[in-house]
């Protein structure tokens, strides 16, 4: 499958897909999208990049081991829920910080952090499965 055209275009395609996945992740609270679907898009980006350019270059590109990314996602997901303890509220009570940044309303919240956690979990887990399968295919 490593045709020249595919190999040339795959990095750009993967980059675009990752960018799009982040867009989908962030719009999720108000429009269709969210962490899960964003994660799936990013995972397919990794898979495509891997098929085109080899697993080694994907691993170099994402720096961390995909399962590590996945674990980190679970960690911050749980951490987002703990924040409410400091206000004496139940686990996972959502906390919101809405402020005005040069005329644009910015909403930071624990559900957003949680959604990012979901995103990382899915990218890591599915990406790691796909990469592991591709790796064996290569040898």
Partner 1 sequence: MTPAVIDDTTLYAVLAPFAAAVVAPFLTRWLKHNAAWPLALVPALIFAHFAGFIGPVSEGQTFVAAKAWAPSYVVNFSVYVDGLSTLFGLLISGIGTFIILYAGGYLKGHPQQGRFFSFLFLFMGAMLGLVLGNNLISLFIFWELTSITSFLLIGFDHLRAASRRAAIQALVVTGGGGLALLAGFILIIASTGEIEMSVLLSSPDIIKNSGLYLPIFLLVLGGAFTKSAQFPFHFWLPNAMEAPTPVSAYLHSATMVKAGVYMLMRMHPLLGDTELWTTVLPLFGGVTLLVGTILAVRQTDLKLMLAYTTVASLGLLVMLTGTSHEKALEGAVLYLLAHSLFKGALFMVAGTIDHEAGTRDITKLGGLRRAMPFTFAAGCLAGLSMAGLPPFIGFIAKEILYYGTSNIGDLGQLGVMITVVAVIGNALMLVIAAAVAIKPFFGPPVDTPKHAHEGPILLIAGPVLLSVTGIILGLIAHTTGVLFVGPTLSSLLGEFKQIDLHLIPTKFNAPVILSFITVGLGIALFTQIDKLRELIAAALKAIGWGPDKGFDQSISGIVSFAAWLTRLVQTGKMQTYMLLTFVFTAIAVLLPGFLTGSYPAMPKLPDYRFYEWGILLIAVLGLIAVLVARTRLTAIVSLGIQGFAVALIFMMFGAPDLSFTQFMVETLSVVILALVMTRLNLSPRDHRSLPARLVTGVVAVAVGLGLTLTLLAITQQPFDRTLSDFFTEFSRSIAHGRNIVNVILVDFRGFDTLGEIAVVVLAGLCVLALIRIRTRPDPETEPEPQSAQTAAKQTAEVR
Distance CA 45, CA 130 (A): 11
Residue 1 C-beta: closest distance to partner 1, Å: 10
User: Which runs of consecutive H residues, i.e. helices, occur in 4-53?
Assistant: 4-27, 35-53
Closer by beta carbon to partner 1, 57 or else 94 = 94
Residue 63 C-beta: closest distance to partner 1, Å: 18
Q: How many CB atoms within 10 Å of residue 127? A: 26
Residue 73 C-beta: closest distance to partner 1, Å: 7
Give the residues lining the site for partner 1 (CB under 8 A).
Answer: 28-37, 40-41, 43-44, 47, 67, 70-71, 73-74, 77-78, 81, 91-92, 94, 96, 98, 107, 109, 111-112, 114-115, 117-118, 121-122, 124-126, 128-130, 132-134, 136-137
Closer by beta carbon to partner 1, 8 or else 93 = 93
Residue 4 C-beta: closest distance to partner 1, Å: 21
Distance CA 96, CA 37 (A): 23
For 81-114, letters b (16+ CB in 10 Å) and e give: bebbeeeeeeebeebeeeeeeeeeeeeeebbbbb
Closer by beta carbon to partner 1, 61 or else 129 = 129
Q: How many CB atoms within 10 Å of residue 139? A: 4
């Amino acid at each position: 499958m490593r045709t020249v055209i595919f190999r040339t275009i795959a990095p750009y395609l993967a980059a675009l897909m990752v960018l799009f996945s982040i867009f989908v992740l962030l719009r999720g609270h108000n429009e269709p999208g969210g962490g899960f679907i964003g994660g799936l898009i990013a995972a397919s980006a990794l898979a495509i990049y891997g098929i085109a350019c080899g697993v080694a270059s994907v691993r170099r590109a994402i720096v961390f081991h995909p399962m590590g990314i996945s674990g980190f996602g679970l960690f911050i997901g749980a951490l987002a829920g703990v924040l409410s303890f400091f206000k004496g509220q139940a686990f996972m009570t959502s906390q919101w910080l809405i402020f005005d940044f040069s005329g644009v309303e910015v909403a930071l919240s624990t559900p957003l952090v949680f959604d990012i956690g979901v995103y990382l979990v899915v990218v890591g887990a599915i990406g790691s499965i796909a990469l592991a399968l591709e790796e064996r295919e290569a040898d």
